[in-house]
């Protein structure tokens, strides 16, 4: 799981992240999940086998806003392609999404990055 730590702000929300991801990945399917313990967050379908989740967490006591990027590899892909393919593909897609989110936040907001 990768994190982008920002100084606490309300300017970064799921709507902003969704527009950034739709702009950076126009040919990928971006879906919002509004249910669950960590909702709302976004799923980006990078390929048939791999999805990446992007969510936001506010930490008021630490005065941080954290954008979390996590990858998900389907069980069928795990059984068919195995561990080496999983390791290569997940890092590649997760890194692309992390870089896109960082660049989009720098373009659209003036938040302070802590990491």
Going from N- to C-terminal start, the domains of the chain cover 2-108
Helix residue ranges per DSSP H, 4-74: 14-24
Pull the structure tokens for residue 83.
Answer: 């561990």
Whether the CB-CB separation of 45 and 28 falls below 8 Å is answered with yes
Q: Per-residue pLDDT tens for 90-112?
A: 677 888 999 999 999 999 998 88
How far apart CA 80 and CA 35 sit, in angstroms, is: 30
Q: Per-residue pLDDT tens for 5-36?
A: 999 988 898 999 999 999 999 999 999 988 87
pTM for this entry: 0.84
CATH class of 2-108: alpha beta
């Amino acid at each position: 799981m990768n994190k982008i730590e920002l100084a606490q702000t309300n300017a970064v929300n799921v709507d902003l992240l969704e527009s950034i991801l739709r702009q950076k990945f126009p040919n990928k399917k971006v879906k919002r999940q509004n249910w669950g313990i960590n909702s709302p967050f976004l799923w980006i379908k990078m390929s048939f086998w791999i999805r990446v989740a992007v969510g936001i967490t506010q930490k008021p006591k630490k005065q941080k806003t954290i954008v979390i990027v996590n990858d998900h590899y389907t069980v069928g892909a795990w059984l068919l392609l195995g561990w080496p393919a999983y390791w290569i593909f997940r890092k590649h897609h997760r890194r692309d999404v992390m870089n896109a989110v960082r660049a989009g936040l720098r373009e659209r907001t003036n938040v302070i990055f802590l990491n």
